[in-house]
Amino acid sequence: METPVTKPSSVLYASLAASPPRIESADGNYLFTDDGASIFDASGGAAVACIGHNNSRVKRAVANQLDKISYCFSPWFSTSAYENLAQYLTASTNGEMEKVFVVGSGAEAVEAALKMARQYYLELPEPQPQRCRFIARDRSYHGNTLGSLSLSGHKARRTPFEPLLSQQFSHVSPCYAYRGKKQGEGDDQYTSRLAQELEDEFQRVGPSKVCGFVAETVAGLTLGGVAATPGYLKAMKEVCDRHGALFILDEAGMGRTGTLHAWEQEGVVPHLQTVAKGLGAGYAAIGALMVHKDVVDVFSKGSKAFVHFQTYHGHPLACAAAYEVQQVIKDEDLVSNCHKMGEYLGRLLSKRLGSHHNVGDVRGRGLLWGVELVKDKATKTPFPAQDKIAPAIHAAGLSKFSISLIPGGGVADGTHGDVMVITPAYNINEADAQLIVEKAALAIEHVLGPARPSRL
């Protein structure tokens, strides 16, 4: 659907060589372009628009907030909007997370988490100023600011900026059973091997120097809907606990995986948690850092002040929008729908696409699904990155089948490996799921050809 640029736009598009479709309006699951096309939004943008577009409750809440207070500086003032959202979020964790710091994006939430982790060690009764390292995972993505990109293991996004990135960050293998598990290896053995790898990394960099280990609870857009093996996150937390380091989870979702917080399914509670995308569902630019009571305790007994602020942190309009989004999710029981419709969507995807000769893996949790595309199913050999398979499917989805899907790259080794990610709104029904699967399959077949018998 991209068209060659004819008259110059002042917008810096993703590509200077083509203009993206222009969206004039949106409603529910549909985006409407200026030339009259309607596109089914099976991606919610970047896994964001989780209650669909044009929600009247959220619009009203934002308008009401505009009538009250649209902006004040959070270090000096609080607002009911900020208080209500923070209260709702902490209560949703049964009080495990005790404080909330609202920012404008996922990357900003991650930046705040990194700084809070570092300051935590300065606030301890016996300060540990030597702690300044973080361990994250290969092929992870935590944002595009320099701190969050330093943390990210996504090679393609890091490479141009590598000289600017901090040397205090290192990476271990992701928990990615499809590619990481050895032949014949059970879940437990795989998990133990990854825990040992993390232990080895602590030892390599010096355990007393590590502030924390950071992971996406479910690897979302980069690996494409990869949930950890059972017990993995618990095992990682044990390694952190052994060395007095913080266990930090970066969760975009807010309900997408079938529980409001993805860690609820993992038997772990993080010291710090970041959330973004599903928090405001696209009605406002918002992310948040949630802080466990144990960390808050240390600050309370220490300087009592987090040395961090932003002009727009705790923005009242963003907080009001996000609060209402969360009430819609609760009132309409959408987290249960994520679980129920997620299982249905996954079954349909596997049935429709599982036997395709180029579909290596169909995996996901809740309404976060990934279809990994491979050149050779038996060997799991990826397509070369220069073939741009996922971007071609994304483009075909938009231009030929009127569906928005998320293309992912580099899943095999950071450079090669394609995945299509499907992250629809939490309120889809069975008919929507059927339509998504059929359109996604048609877009994949348009680029890779119809299914033919594979060697497997």
Residues near ligand PLP, by CB under 6 A = 46, 105-107, 110, 141-143, 216, 220-221, 250, 252, 276, 287
Please list, in sequence order, all residues whose beta carbon lies within 8 angstroms of the beta carbon of residue 427, skipping any fewer than 6 positions away: 51, 52, 332, 334, 337
Minimum CB distance to ligand PLP smaller for 122 or for 165: 165
427 neighbors 334 (Cβ within 8 angstroms): yes
Tokens, residue 352: 């429709």
Minimum CB distance to ligand PLP smaller for 153 or for 360: 153
Distance of closest approach, residue 253 Cβ to ligand PLP, in angstroms: 9
Longest pairwise C-alpha distance within the chain: 65
Minimum CB distance to ligand PLP smaller for 252 or for 281: 252
Backbone angles phi, psi at 222, to 5 degrees: -85, -55
Distance of closest approach, residue 105 Cβ to ligand PLP, in angstroms: 4
Minimum CB distance to ligand PLP smaller for 263 or for 401: 263
Angular region, 332: left φ>0, alpha ψ -120 to 50, beta rest? alpha
Assign 134 to helix, strand or coil. Answer: strand
Distance of closest approach, residue 104 Cβ to ligand PLP, in angstroms: 8
Q: How many angstroms separate the CA atoms of 319 and 324, rounded?
A: 9
Distance of closest approach, residue 423 Cβ to ligand PLP, in angstroms: 10
Distance of closest approach, residue 141 Cβ to ligand PLP, in angstroms: 5
Minimum CB distance to ligand PLP smaller for 220 or for 366: 220
Minimum CB distance to ligand PLP smaller for 218 or for 353: 218
Distance of closest approach, residue 412 Cβ to ligand PLP, in angstroms: 19
Q: What residue type is assigned to position 232 of the chain?
A: Y
- Give one DSSP letter per residue of 102-159, joined into a string: EESSHHHHHHHHHHHHHHHHHHSSS--TT--EEEEETT----SSHHHHHH---HHHHG
Minimum CB distance to ligand PLP smaller for 105 or for 358: 105
Pairing outcome for strands 418-422 and 406-409: antiparallel
Residue 28 is classified by DSSP as: B
Minimum CB distance to ligand PLP smaller for 222 or for 350: 222
Distance of closest approach, residue 144 Cβ to ligand PLP, in angstroms: 6
Tokens, residue 63: 């308008």
421 neighbors 224 (Cβ within 8 angstroms): yes
Minimum CB distance to ligand PLP smaller for 211 or for 219: 219
Q: What residue type is assigned to position 64 of the chain?
A: N
Find residue 40's DSSP bridge partners: 30, 403
Contacts by residues 31-39 (CB-CB < 8 Å, ≥ 24 positions apart): 31/404, 33/1, 37/1, 37/402, 38/402, 39/398, 39/402, 39/403, 39/404
Distance of closest approach, residue 54 Cβ to ligand PLP, in angstroms: 21
Distance of closest approach, residue 156 Cβ to ligand PLP, in angstroms: 14
Helix pair angle (80-91, 316-331), 10° resolution: 40
Can you tell me which residue has the tokens 């973080």? 134
Q: What residue type is assigned to position 94 of the chain?
A: N
